[in-house]
Amino acid sequence: MTAGRIQKKTSVILIGAGIMSATLGSLLKALAPEWEIKVFEKLAEAGEESSNEWNNAGTGHSALCELNYTSEKPDGSIDISKAIKINEQFQLSRQFWSYLAGSHLIRHPQGFIRPIPHMSFVQGGKNVSFLKKRFETLSSHPLFQGMEFSDDPEKLNEWIPLIMEGRASNEPIAATKINSGTDVNFGALTRSLFDHLKNQNVEIDYKHLVKNINRTSDGSWEVKVKDSENGKIEHHMAQFVFIGGGGGSLPLLQKTGIPESKHIGGFPVSGLFMVCSNPEVVARHHAKVYGKAKIGAPPMSVPHLDTRYIEGKQTLLFGPFAGFSPKFLKTGSNLDLIRSVKPDNLLTMLAAGIKQRALTRYLIQQVLLSNEKRMEELREFVPNAKSADWDTVVAGQRVQVIKDTEAGRGTLQFGTEVVTSADGSIAALLGASPGASTAVYVMLQVLEKCFPEQIKAWKPKIKEIIPSYGVPLAENPALLREVRTATARTLGLN
Ligand SMILES: Cc1cc2nc3c(=O)[nH]c(=O)nc-3n(C[C@H](O)[C@H](O)[C@H](O)COP(=O)(O)OP(=O)(O)OC[C@H]3O[C@@H](n4cnc5c(N)ncnc54)[C@H](O)[C@@H]3O)c2cc1C
């Protein structure tokens, strides 16, 4: 370490101004308000990568409509354990957002969360019988109360006229609907949280690219940052660093050199949405409708037709179409993937390359789809869709984690992974799904892993902010009712 280079030592450095850093910073400000926090973000504003409203699907994932969270067991029954877990995690987010809004720390919750029915829609006899069984299992569970099922075309016409119009009547179809779903504008939420952090004296340095992270002799971390306005290099120190760089987290984690960063790789998946530009069509749909992934398609490319609230307007998006791009961020470099291959993860990456040939082929096919081919996929949802009414927008990049697991070397992971050093002084968030919706749960995990000494003292405050912290709501119907009612009132979800 060169004398004179260090600007200042802070308690915490957060890298990246996405929803994850925003959530961790806000939790820390509630629990340890005296801690000094600094944020470095390479772009000019907060929430410009995956957390931006145009870069993700804005679904408040709580397993109300996503069919990939419930699987059919060999005996034909439906396994809903993953759905329960994800729903419980979303309830933690709702409570934290509700605390922030109720305490006037963030304003106008309707600017980032709106109620919207969540629906699942299937075609074909086998899928209809799966959906019916799924409905029967879920709807009797307290977390999923209020779910309805119908295979009656007249009812479906009432629920989803756009999807029913022009549809051949001979194929069995069915849908479930639950009105307690949400559309979350994660971009607006991220910006609100960073406004709140700024009000709490958090220093947020935009246009600052983190280039390196090194451990210092006293066990802290030195972060090398480039100010892209003047090209100057700065060095900052912190006792705790969170790498919340989204797709950019893996390369930064690798720079730390911690043993936990080894044998991990990343597989980038790009995305694309179709956006409806005809207000008459937009006005005729009012739901998030999730279908079933095509055979061979990865879970993140489950097609869905979504009412969204973006830039103060109701809009309609279809997708995402997955694709392949070697970039780790939308604003990343074509060399990201190749540069992430290191001697320690080479075999892991090669094994994944061999195993995932079918996925790579699928993604390349998706990239090569013409607009008309995409329209054909959209017409499976909206039979009368007109090409002139739909444009395309490029969505965010997801970097799926590749690691060696019991299932073998180079296994692709579809969830999120928190990687922490053994002493808890640095943590990184990798992976993408279920993503922003579960940011509060994931960041609470970071706090538990990285601050084992403080967490005991913080617990009463965490329980005050998030009453269901540590309590399964599925087993506490009274508390579930209480938090649902209170959060719906504060967030305007009634
Ligand atoms: C197509 C798509 C659909 C999705 N749909 C949903 C959905 O419906 N619901 C849901 O809950 N989640 C969804 N997700 C996932 C969700 O968007 C992400 O999990 C979440 O936004 C990740 O937040 P983050 O803060 O980790 O990353 P980001 O929002 O990507 O933020 C990372 C930030 O770090 C910055 N950064 C990176 N490297 C550096 C560096 N070296 N120095 C300084 N700054 C750096 C970046 O510029 C960026 O601003 C979707 C994602 C995609 C791509």
pTM recorded for the entire structure: 0.95
Choice from 19, 23, 40, 50 to test ligand 1 binding pocket (greatest atom count within 8 A of CB): 50
pLDDT band at 1 (very low <50, low <70, confident <90, very high): very low
Instruction: Tell how far the Cα of 247 is from the centroid of ligand 1, in angstroms.
Output: 7
Please work out, in degrees rounded to the nearest 5, the angle formed at the alpha carbon of residue 435 by the alpha carbons of 370 and 380: 35
* Domain covering 7-477, topology: FAD/NAD(P)-binding domain (3.50.50)
- What pLDDT does 3 receive? 41
Q: For residues 396, 83, 62 and 57, what is the CA-based torsion angle, rounded to 10 degrees? A: 20
Tell me, using a 6 A CB cutoff, whether residue 320 lines ligand 1: yes
Tell me, using a 6 A CB cutoff, whether residue 51 lines ligand 1: yes
Convert 34-100 into a string of H (helix), E (strand) and C (coil). Answer: CCCEEEECCCCCCCCCCCCCCCCCCECCCCCCCHHHCEECCCCCEECHHHHHHHHHHHHHHHHHHHH
Asked if 247 contacts 50 with a C-beta cutoff of 8 angstroms, the reply is yes
Instruction: Tell how far the Cα of 463 is from the centroid of ligand 1, in angstroms.
Output: 27
Residue nearest to atom 2 of ligand 1 (CA): 56
Residue nearest to atom 27 of ligand 1 (CA): 246
Mean pLDDT of 12-35: 98
DSSP letters, 128-179, are HHHHHHHHHHHHTSGGGTT-EEE--HHHHHHH-HHHHTT--TTS-EEEEEET
Q: Over pLDDT 90: what percentage of the chain?
A: 83
Atom of ligand 1 nearest to the CA of 43: 47
Kindly report, residue by residue over 229-285, the tens digit of the pLDDT: 999 999 999 999 999 999 999 999 999 999 999 999 998 988 999 999 999 999 999
Kindly report, residue by residue over 53-88, the tens digit of the pLDDT: 999 999 999 999 999 999 999 999 999 999 999 999
**Candidate from 48-52, 70-74, 254-258, 319-323 with smallest mean pLDDT:** 319-323
Mean pLDDT of 323-347: 93
Tell me, using a 6 A CB cutoff, whether residue 403 lines ligand 1: no
Convert 384-400 into a string of H (helix), E (strand) and C (coil). Answer: CCCHHHEEEEECCCEEE
Asked if 290 contacts 65 with a C-beta cutoff of 8 angstroms, the reply is yes
pLDDT band at 434 (very low <50, low <70, confident <90, very high): confident
Residue 2 has pLDDT above 80, yes or no: no
- What pLDDT does 65 receive? 97
